[in-house]
Amino acid sequence: MNPKLIQFRAASTLEKNLQGRTPTGKPAGEIARRDLVRYYSLLRQSLPAFQMAEAMLIVEALQRNPPDMEQVQRLWISVEQAVKADQLEQRWRVNAAALVERLRTLTPAECMAICDAVECVLCQPTPIVQELQARVKQIGLAKP
């Protein structure tokens, strides 16, 4: 069975990054595939785990207030703003100040991994909290 063909156009920044990584005579698509495998591996290895209530608060906060990916390390601001605006601390019974402080200390890779995990959780919409919690756990955002 052949792998599924996925194609995309490289924007100028991505094209420059690929050119700087592509040896002469090698297709840029091979390098892009290699780099994407590396990126997904990095995300998987960098994802911090939270208590379920904390993870659900993060999912809800980022669903309402996603961070700017160019400043992903400021993820904590998105969470803090959503907590204040939507009273998520009471809803999930979480010490939001402690959670925000933990988020402030994370590396950019950890923050990107959280954003990716939240996107994975939300890619199949469901109104049932238990199903969301199962996906949060499966993805690794919540401790087993």
Does one domain contain both 71 and 113? yes
Query: What is the average pLDDT across 16-34?
Result: 89
7 occurs within a structural domain? no
Does one domain contain both 56 and 120? yes
Does one domain contain both 58 and 128? yes
pLDDT value at residue 118: 94
3 occurs within a structural domain? no
Find out whether 51 and 142 touch, Cβ atoms under 8 Å.
yes
Q: What single letter denotes the amino acid at residue 123?
A: C
Does one domain contain both 41 and 97? no
pLDDT tens digits along 92-129: 999 999 999 999 999 999 999 999 999 999 987 776 88
Does one domain contain both 33 and 57? no
pLDDT value at residue 1: 64
What is the tally of structural domains in the chain? 2
This prediction's pTM = 0.88
Does one domain contain both 99 and 132? yes
Is pLDDT larger for residue 41 or for residue 1? 41
Range of the domain at 41: 12-46
39 occurs within a structural domain? yes
Task: Give a three-class secondary structure readout of the chain.
Answer: CCCCCCCCCCCHHHHHHHHCCCCCCCCHHHHHHHHHHHHHHHHHHHCCCECHHHHHHHHHHHHHCCCCHHHHHHHHHHHHHHHHHHCHHHHHCCCHHHHHHHHHCCCHHHHHHHHHHHHHHHCCCCCCHHHHHHHHHHHCCECC
Does one domain contain both 101 and 134? yes
Query: pLDDT tier at 11 (50, 70, 90 boundaries)?
Result: confident
4 occurs within a structural domain? no
Question: Which token pair is 77?
Answer: 């601001």
Does one domain contain both 84 and 110? yes
pLDDT tens digits along 32-68: 999 999 999 999 999 999 999 999 999 999 998 888 8
pLDDT value at residue 139: 94
Does one domain contain both 107 and 131? yes
Does one domain contain both 72 and 110? yes
Query: What is the average pLDDT across 64-87?
Result: 90
